[in-house]
Structure 1
Amino acid sequence: MDLTVTDLACARGGVTVLSRVSFRLGAGRALILRGPNGIGKTTLLRTVAGLQPPVAGMVSMSPEAVAYAAHADGLKATLTVAENLSFWAAIYGTTDTAAAMARMNLAALADRQAQNLSAGQKRRLGLARLLVTGRPLWVLDEPTVSLDAASVALFGAAVRDHLAAGGAALMATHIDLGLDEAEVLDLSPFRAEAPVAQAEDDPFAGVTA
């Protein structure tokens, strides 16, 4: 498992927000993206996951190797916890949902519809989906939103197990998940320069009061 990002530029709303981003992420490692709000962490994650094309540069890993978890939990409201995980397991061609439920402390909720879960329970179920994908690279956008301290610890342990099994994780988070394997990449140096308006495009250029 090897993700290589080379001179990547990505855009949000047609405006380039990051440029010249390069890094490598190997098996058993985690990389945490940091930077101020709006710098482009979500945009970079979506680009790496293959959900939007880059403006320039290259992502070497196939999107088929990626499991992406964003702010939405990806749940079907009228399906139970067990049914939601079975649905996703079928999508990814896997079968073991019991281990995922146990890992994220969902076994007692197996027969409860997703619409009747609390926000934290829904989040745990959405993250349990990662465990049934069988994919080596987890791309995570603020994965601990709505989780209490105990659930953050559960998820941190799940990530560590994933890394120990040869997987990798790329994530944007400000929460300490206790990952000794993690490196941090500050995106501030990769912020794209703001476009400068040309004088001929400004009808008031050169006019003084």
Structure 2
Amino acid sequence: MINIRGIGGHMRLVAENLSGERGDNLLFNSLCASLSDGQALIITGPNGAGKSTLLRIIAGLLPASDGTVWLEIDGAQEPVMAHSHYLSTLNAMKPALSVYENLKFWQDFHGSPLHDIDEALEIVGLYNIDHLPYGYLSTGQKRRVTIATLLCSHRPLWLLDEPTSGLDTHAQAMFAGVMREHLKKGGMIVAVTHIALGLEQAGSDAVQHLRLEDYQLGDHGAEAQGWLS
């Protein structure tokens, strides 16, 4: 079994007193969370509560209004971006390029090959379409190609924003298996979702839940916003 822990040892993602804003609106305040290798954090909540904003802050794509987030590998702090895949709600692919060419670009960009491209496509059930232009694919097929990017390069931390968007029930089950295997090998997942991702079989100790609620200063003041369970 391939071990995908960062730099071969213990790994931990830490968010400390994290606050995030959209414009002048405070979305969440003083969030604290800690995730170890082999664990997933599932973020839920109503629209506009700041779920995607939180994920982008963790990824290093947006600044936090307060607090810090870091990845700890063998006791040393490492930049999150260097060790993570970020999968947004948009599929970052070139429509005119073939499926293979798109995945080859991302594999070269991310480095550290994990599976070869044909193997990654077989895992997501698309082994026979690598020659097709990405723009010809159905919505579900496009999402599965995007999921294949997670498998083409070694990145221990997966940051996923509504990863099952566009997937049918069969494809959702496939991806649940992919995520469970990632956790089994020592990877970590932070996922924003509005539906169950099928990670229950990974075990209760492997999955944490964080629910963000609408933040209203008059009701909550400076109290921590968000609930871990």
Matching residue's letter, 1:120:
G
Q: Is the 8 A contact 1:18 1:192 kept in 2?
A: no
Give the whole-Å Cα distance in 2 for the aligned partners of 1:152 and 1:12. Answer: 31
Percent identical across equivalent pairs?
Answer: 39
Asked whether 1:85 is paired with 2:95, we answer no
Say yes or no: does 1:43 pair with 2:53: yes
SS at match of 1:109: coil
Aligned counterpart for 1:185 among listed residues 178, 199, 210: 210
Measured in 2, the distance between the counterparts of 1:29 and 1:21 equals 18
Match of 2:94 in 1: 76
C-alpha RMSD of the superposition: 1.6
CA distance 1:86–1:16, change in 2 (3 Å): same
- Superimposed CA distance per residue, residues 10-41 of structure 1 (whole angstroms, 9 cap, x where no aligned partner): 11234321111110011001110111111000
Q: 1:132 aligns with which of 122, 140, 152?
A: 152
Task: Confirm or deny: 8 A CA contact 2:45 2:194 kept in the other structure.
Answer: no
Q: Which amino acid aligns with 1:8?
A: L
> Conserved in 2, the CA contact under 8 Å of 1:104 and 1:124?
yes
Shift of 1:94: 3.5
CA distance in 2, matches of 1:160, 1:50: 25
TM-score, normalising length from structure 2?
Answer: 0.80
Within 5 A, what are the aligned runs for 1:147-186? 147-180=167-200, 181-186=206-211
Alpha-carbon distance change, 31 to 18 in structure 1, aligned in 2, over 3 angstroms:
same
Work out whether residues 68 and 139 of structure 1, in 8 Å CA contact, stay in contact via their aligned partners in 2: yes
Residue 160 of structure 1: SS of its match in structure 2? Answer: helix
1:207 corresponding residue in structure 2: none
Residues 8-17 or 118-127, more deviating: 8-17
Amino acid at match of 1:86: K
Moved over 4 A (4+): none
The one of 16, 24, 44 equivalent to 1:6 is 16
One-letter amino acid matched to 1:183 = Q
Closer, same or farther: CA 165–71 of 1 in aligned 2, 3 Å: same
Q: Is the 8 A contact 1:4 1:25 kept in 2?
A: yes
Contact 1:19 1:192 in 2 (8 A): no
What CA distance in whole angstroms lies between the structure 1 residues aligned with 2:190 and 2:111? Answer: 23
| Aligned match for 1:19, one of 21, 25, 29 | 29
- Quickly say closer, same or farther: Cα 1:81–1:109, change in 2 above 3 A: same
State the distance in 1 between where 2:65 and 2:148 align: 32
Instruction: Tell me, in whole angstroms, the C-alpha distance in 2 between the residues paired with 1:165 and 1:21.
Output: 28
C-alpha distance in 2 between matches for 1:14 and 1:64: 30
Number of matched residues?
194
Report the Cα offset of residue 102 of structure 1. Answer: 1.1
Q: Which moved more, 1:87-96 or 1:163-172?
A: 87-96
